[in-house]
Amino acid sequence: RLTCDSGQWWGAADRTTFLGTGTRIVPSDPADVGEIGRLPAREQKLTLHVGDVLDVTRDCTPAPVRSERPRIGCTLPEVFEHACPGQQVHFDDGKISGLIEDATPDLLRVRITRAAPGGSNLRAGKGINVPDTRLDVPALTAKDLADLATVVVLADVVDLSFVREPADVTRLLKELDRLGDDRLGVVLKIETAQAFRNLPQLLLTLMARPRIGVMIARGDLAVECGYARMAELQEEIMWLCESAHVPVIWATQVLEQLAKGGQPSRAEISDAAMGERAECVMLNKGPYIDEAVTVLADVLSRMAEHHDKKNALLPTLHSWHPDERPDRVWSRTAGAGVVAGRDLRPARVPAHPVETRGVPTERT
């Protein structure tokens, strides 16, 4: 049943009715015949199982509702020029993975090799990683270069994503020089295996700038290199940056469960504690972000007494003090341990030579 009210049409049906753009409307008055205009797009999802075949196409127009096999578009055309059969493809931060069975200039046919037991949903806008494929894609796009003129006016820091080679850094620095900017900080996001392999050269190139940093983008890095290898890579990145006196941002899923759900897991508390060795920790957004900031500050202040970068500080352990009475209360003040008013800041090895039992020692 159709009703017209103040120029607006309202419809009601007593059974399921399929309406789409262009559907012809024939009300009781033949003079009012018309068509439904363009309806807004509705986000769809694909449910993929192990063994399914997925077509990844250069054409990003929506696939037909009924088609021979599921299909998605890829917004990076260089993928189709360099990908080969047998190479890996990861979707949505590795939640779904597959192998390329066939590659043409316009299509990659992918056999799904990893998905959840009941199938994994793939939605629009999710990332696609091809770790085995060498892509000759500049880190700075034409739009990036156009946006830099606004960035240098409004921002304090610019992050360079998917940097791979020193030439990517050089191009950014030259563009900033051309814009007359010597203030903006530059942070390199290390999120590919190629960026990790080239990190020493990337750092040397970046040091032409006074305000610099490195972000360990662990999400993409884990997808590119594997989760077990990522645990080692983040350590090596920390060592290299410490040697170069370059500050590090510890990023990706830090206290994510707390920020989004209000309750942290045990594992992410340990992960946040590891972040104390970096100069900055990036948190995820979520409805409990205030609680996440408070917990992170508490964890980092505690760990600052135990570690300075990768060096253990060996603070005094309270269980080793037999003279301490059980009724003395352990409390924290401004990040330093205090027992009954006694300052327990971590003991450090002095920088100058000292005599210890007749053996001279010095910090190395």
Q: Do domains 45-129 and 138-238 have the same CATH topology?
A: no
Per-domain boundaries in the chain: 2-35, 45-129, 138-238
Judge contact between 330 and 361, C-beta under 8 A.
no
**138-238 is classed CATH 3.20.20.60:** yes
| Whole-angstrom distance, CA of residue 244 vs CA of residue 236 | 12
| Whole-angstrom distance, CA of residue 127 vs CA of residue 131 | 12
- Quick one: tokens of 87? 């190479």
Q: Residue 70 — φ and ψ, nearest 5°?
A: -60, 150
Judge contact between 304 and 334, C-beta under 8 A.
no
CATH topology of domain 45-129: M1 Pyruvate Kinase; Domain 3 (2.40.33)
Q: Residue 216 — φ and ψ, nearest 5°?
A: -90, 100
Rounded to a whole number of angstroms, the CA Rg of the chain reads: 28
| Whole-angstrom distance, CA of residue 8 vs CA of residue 10 | 7
Strand partners, 35: 24
Put residue 120 in one of left, alpha, beta given phi > 0 → left and psi -120 to 50 → alpha. beta
Judge contact between 133 and 83, C-beta under 8 A.
yes
DSSP result, 63-126 = PPSS-SS-EEE-S-THHHHH--TT-EEEETTTTEEEEEEEEETTEEEEEEEE--TT-EEEETT-
Tens of pLDDT along the chain (364 residues) come to 666 666 676 777 777 777 777 777 766 666 666 777 777 767 778 999 999 999 999 998 877 766 778 999 999 999 999 999 999 999 998 899 999 999 999 999 999 999 999 999 998 889 899 989 988 888 898 899 999 999 999 999 999 998 999 999 999 999 999 999 989 999 999 998 899 999 999 999 999 999 999 999 998 888 888 888 888 999 999 999 999 999 999 999 999 999 999 999 999 999 999 999 999 999 988 999 999 999 999 999 999 888 888 888 887 776 555 554 444 433 333 333 333 333 334 444 444 433 333 334 344 3
Direct distance between the N- and C-terminal alpha carbons of the chain, in angstroms, rounded to an integer: 85
